[in-house]
Structure 1
Amino acid sequence: MEKKLTALSRRAFLGTAAIGLATPAIAQVNSTEYEAEVAPDWAPMGPVRRNASGFRAQDWQPYFSNLRNGAVLVDISSRALHFWSADESVYKLYPTSVPMTEDLTRRGRTKIVRKVVGPDWRPTPSMKKRNPEWPDYVPPGPDNPLGTHALYLSWTYYRIHGTHDTRKIGRRSSNGCIGLYNEHIAELFSLTKNGTQVLLI
């Protein structure tokens, strides 16, 4: 009888422990945003929000009529980038940084027109107006806000690029571009080509 009680107690304990361990994960998935201080090199100081909800797989059909040249969907609200290869054999989902404000955000259809490893960076005229203390030019390297790779879009000044400041990912922290972890942009860079269609929603 004592052995049976011990076995039952052990099962009950393990079941309770499993529920306890699962709770933080459930809480994290269900949480929407939290505030955190961030001081990136090329963005204003102050609290920003990191999104932890709505990060889920998507189907391409509601957004594209075909997958010719592959397709990239950037969801500004969930701060996620989805990629589908032309033959549907590859699907990727990456967390991103998105523009800080709605007036810096652009939505609609565009495409990749240029791919650069080790991009250099120049602030746009409007960036310089807002931040006159910023440098006129930053060469490739660890201080470059475009990270290790950049995908140039057909819209002037807009890019999907990496970042050396990993605190930016998952946040409204960019001046208009879409940012990824350097390892993710390197992978996306290898999967896309000039002509890959891009939709920002």
Structure 2
Amino acid sequence: MPILDRRGFLVGATAAVAAAPAGAQTLPSTVQLRDDISESTRRNTHSFLSMDWREHFRSVGSGAILVDIDSRVLHFWDRAGDYRIYPSSVPSSEELTRRGRTTVTRKVVGPSWSPTPNMRRRNPEWPAFVPPGPQNPLGTHAMYLGWKYYRIHGTHDRRKIGRRSSSGCIGLYNRDIAEVFAMAPVGTQVRII
């Protein structure tokens, strides 16, 4: 994965260290952003670099996922402590948004999908079941969370990323969910803010 332009990253990282509050733990210098990341995600990333993430997790030693609904970004720390940022889709309304702490409880490659009872009431024309494949709204990989019906998953519809477009789940580009999926074991802590 190409990293953010070196000069831009060094300037941002230097500013983040200088701006960090006393006692704040700054993020490692291994932050990587692909070339196709939107400008708003880049800005959000730079502002996040100066935050003290310890308020969200006691430790990231076993891996951690933090989803920021407002900035539409998934932050991921792997077991080695390396940090990555991924643009995401988020729930389309506050009523569909669940915030708090949970964990990854199950992982599925090639997930099938069935709309929830509430989705079926809102959209009775939707099919009751969609098998794995290009029409499946869960994309190529899904990580099920400790909350019923909530997942972090891929999407075949690239237009959804960076938008409020889901019925409650967090969506990633298929290549990004494949990467997170490979590095986040069942039990990985998840916080949605």
Q: TM-score, normalised by structure 1?
A: 0.72
Look up the match of 1:143. Answer: 135
Distance between the aligned counterparts of 2:44 and 2:178, measured in 1?
21
Look up the match of 1:18. Answer: none
Deviation, structure 1 residue 86:
2.6
Residues matched between the structures, number: 151
Aligned with 1:153 (options 137, 142, 145)? 145
Query: Is the CA contact (8 Å cut-off) linking 1:51 and 1:78 kept in structure 2?
Result: no
The share of aligned pairs that are identical, in percent, is: 62
Q: Deviations 1:130-170 (Å, cap 9, x if unpaired)?
A: 00000000000000000000000000000000000000000
Deviation, structure 1 residue 65:
0.5
Distance between the aligned counterparts of 2:80 and 2:176, measured in 1?
21
**Structure 1 or 2: larger strand share?**
1
Q: What residue ranges of structure 1 are gaps of 5+ in the alignment?
A: 1-49
Aligned with 1:83 (options 76, 82, 101)? 76
Q: TM-score, normalised by structure 2?
A: 0.75
Write the mapping of 1:11-160 to structure 2, written as runs, cut at 5 A: 52=40, 54-56=43-45, 57-58=48-49, 60-88=53-81, 90-160=82-152
Aligned with 1:193 (options 168, 185, 188)? 185
Q: What residue ranges of structure 2 are gaps of 5+ in the alignment?
A: 1-37
RMSD: 1.5
Aligned with 1:179 (options 126, 149, 171)? 171
4+ runs deviating over 3 angstroms: 57-60
Deviates more, 1:60-69 or 1:77-86: 60-69
* Paired residue type of 1:145: P
Query: Is the CA contact (8 Å cut-off) linking 1:60 and 1:84 kept in structure 2?
Result: no
* Paired residue type of 2:44: F
Deviation, structure 1 residue 63:
1.0
Between structure 1 and structure 2, the one with the greater Rg is: 1
